[in-house]
Chain A
Amino acid sequence: MILGSLTGAEPGVAATSEVPTAGPAPSTWSRAQVAAGLSLLAGAIHLYFTPEHLQEWWVFGSFFVAVTVGQVVLAELVVLRPSTRTLLAGIWGNVAVIGVYLVSRTVGLPIGPPHGVHGADGQVLQHQPVAGGVGNGMPTMPGTESATATHPDVVGIFDLWALGLELVLVALLVTMLPQRHRRITLNAFLVLGLLVWGTRIAAQVVS
């Protein structure tokens, strides 16, 4: 099937990262095109939210720009140059994006914009002194007393759409890998997944 058609290898034999010289089989193209479509859709969602994140902090905005560009480039490469290297880059790039999402929606990112950053005493930094003010006028919101960065964001509907697209995209790209890379990648997913779940369970036990 697909990989065999893509690379010209025997069925079940690991393929090389060569680009086919003859036209690929229709099913190969459709799979690559579906992957490209998913990547473009995910990129479109990230692009849509780029201005909002740029307003929030240029670092966040730049990240969204990078993700958008990466997903658009992946969409092109997966159709035009679907090498193993491209597929692996696409897989792990998207897994990295999913990882950032996972952190931002669970424990909060370790970095954040300078304004609104809370010091160890819970005080918001960088406000001007208040002339005539007696004491400290900055409220300390519950849960922010020792926060050093942003707090976890709430999952939105577009988050779920982007996540779903990326998960299906990654799964699709995995099926396009040569057998050996496919096995290694899926084993790595298993280890990574167990680590994430293990961390969550450990945190629950400790708390």
Chain B
Amino acid sequence: MTSALSRREVLKFGVLGSAAVALPLERSARAGALLPTRMPASKLPPPFTVPFAQPPVLTPYATSATTDYYKISMQPVLADVLPGYKTPLWGYNGLVPGPTISVEQGRKVVMRQVNNLPAVHPSLSYTPWTSVHLHGSASLPEYDGYASDITNPGQYKDYRYPNVQVARTLWYHDHGLHHTAENVLQGLAAQYHLHDPLERSLPIPHGEFDVPLIVSDAMFDDTGALLWNNHDQSGMYGDVILVNGRPWPLMKVKRRKYRFRLLNASISRSYSWSLDTGDAMTVIGTDGGLMPRPQAVKSFRQGMAERYEIVIDFAKYPVGKRVLLRNTSPKNNINYINTNKVMAFDVIGDAFDPSDNSIPAVLNPANPVMSLTESMAVATRRIDVIRANGTWTINGHTWDDVVASNFTLTEGNPRNGDVEVWEIRNPSGGWFHPVHIHLIDFRILDRNGRPPMPHELGPKDVVYVGENETVRVLARFEGVGKYMIHCHNLVHEDHDMMSQFEVLDATTPGDDPLSDPCKQLPEQDDLGWQ
């Protein structure tokens, strides 16, 4: 007998073998094309053809000696995202992204959020209750966007923000239980800038040259509507990169320094930024405000919800030069043909104000969290972000477990004022988790035993816990009550990688996160800081 397969035998084997090879690939190819109605790439705008735009700064509805009052309506809007199409979205005041709030340190803010969304999502068939989280603010528990503290359509809630922290880039976004990803992708996200005297006094770019960049990604059908796919609760990824709601925009820049407040508002996509010129960008701020010293980097990665303030100096480029902001994607994202492009800057020769056009060698050396040392820690806690039995969990717990415990389950109970080390571990090689700890700022001590990356050398409230990474962070817990900790891949958060901790005080009990519930419309004229 012959040992090799004869031609006839190869054919027999090939019928089965070809099915094993071809059919899964064919199915994957169809899945890659997502739904048959996905907008073809040929109908998407070519990158760098849509003009850059910024969200407007919202004017307070009323002011008092101590407080600014805002009224925001969460409502549907037909937005101009892709040229020639109308995209049904939801926006704060009908804007996507929503209007920027700009406030000075020490001034309180009362923000009335009215849920004027439809009773049922038009394609996903859920009731869009909301919970607004001011990300980066040490708000009281009942104003922190606690996921179960929901506001249904037809209801409203007044959120109160103290604004006592140092200057920083915050953002407000939806945090409603089980559909945060959908609500945020639908448009419920915006920046919030907190200023303080130090930040105002530094000669870094301000005003016209202080620019918010809210980066997200989305996929559209051939009518311009959003397409939905959470990849079996793993993540949502789009083939269109949006900056301030515009696809791959083109921004005209003058020959000077610009400060960009870069927020990754994507649902599940992380980015690794670089300029096509190979030049360095200077990171001056992180989630919790200005860094002690600026850090020049040629590229850096940014997980969901992280904020970095970067300065790009366009003075070195000739008029007419185009500079591209690119994304060399970190692993475990789903990428498409143009997700490696973000936006372009065209250098123009217009005159400009030469003031505030430098980067001091020292920015904020006195930031309290950056002064903490490991020796000050009184406890070390471990936070494991793991997938167990098909569910995303924090230490094996889900928000369902928190609810089932009548909100008593916690991952830890730091005492008010204590400094602690939290060791966050991601044992998986298959996914990354940007972990957000509410209430506090922290300093990253190390990652897998190595020093934090240069761009992370500032105060943080989200940390990128990459594949098989263990990250240790150091924080002082100031404030009392229950606060959430969760993955900021919002699909993971919704299903159900979220738990809580409670800061305890010997004399003062913390407010119940559910103690100031929403009210039914019509609005009552009862705004006022207590």
Contacts and interface: CB of A to CB of B under 8 A. Distances in A.
Interface of A: 1-4, 11-13, 31, 51-52, 55-58, 95, 98, 101-102, 105-106, 112-116, 122, 124, 126-128, 130-143, 150-155, 159, 163, 167, 170-171, 174-176, 179, 182, 186-187, 189-190, 192-194, 196-197, 200
Contact of A189 (B12, B119, B126): B12
Nearest to A139: B124
B20 interface: yes
Given A136-B125, A143-B35, 18 more contacts: A2-B3, A101-B20, A115-B496, A126-B400, A128-B403, A130-B129, A130-B403, A134-B127, A134-B153, A135-B119, A135-B120, A137-B176, A139-B228, A187-B12, A189-B16, A190-B15, A193-B14, A193-B18
Contacts of A127: 178, 400, 496
A6 B211 CA distance: 76
10 contacts: A132-B150, A134-B152, A135-B120, A139-B228, A141-B124, A174-B13, A175-B4, A186-B12, A190-B11, A193-B12
B381 interface: no
Given A130-B150, A137-B129, A150 B232 contact: yes
Contacts of B390: 56-57, 112-116
Contact of B126 (A2, A116, A136): A136
Contacts of A2: 3
Contacts, number: 192
B21 interface: yes
Contacts of A31: 3
A56 B393 CA distance: 11
Contacts of B400: 126-128
A12 B12 CA distance: 20
Nearest to A5: B3
Contacts of B524: none
A135 B229 CA distance: 22
B2 interface: yes
Contacts of B14: 193
User: Which of B3, B154, B177, B231 counts the most chain A CB atoms within 10 A?
Assistant: B3
A52 B230 CA distance: 19
A159 B20 CA distance: 11
Interface string B7-34: 0010111111111110111011001100
Contacts of B13: 170-171, 174, 186, 189
B1 A179 contact: yes
B508 interface: no
B388 interface: yes
Nearest to B23: A106
A30 B389 CA distance: 42
A152 B11 CA distance: 28
A62 to B, nearest CB: 12
A105 B27 contact: yes
Contacts of A141: 124, 228-230
Given A137-B127, A186-B9, A196 B23 contact: yes
Nearest to A13: B1
Nearest to B147: A130
User: Which of A132, A143, A170 counts the most chain B CB atoms within 10 A?
Assistant: A132
A196 B20 CA distance: 9
B379 interface: no
Contact of A142 (B150, B228, B387): B228
B495 A192 contact: no
Contact of A193 (B16, B154, B229): B16
B75 to A, nearest CB: 18
Contact of B5 (A102, A105, A175): A175
B517 to A, nearest CB: 7
Given A106-B24, A193-B18, A3 B391 contact: no
User: Which of B16, B119, B514 counts the most chain A CB atoms within 10 A?
Assistant: B16
Given A139-B179, A154-B31, A55 B1 contact: no
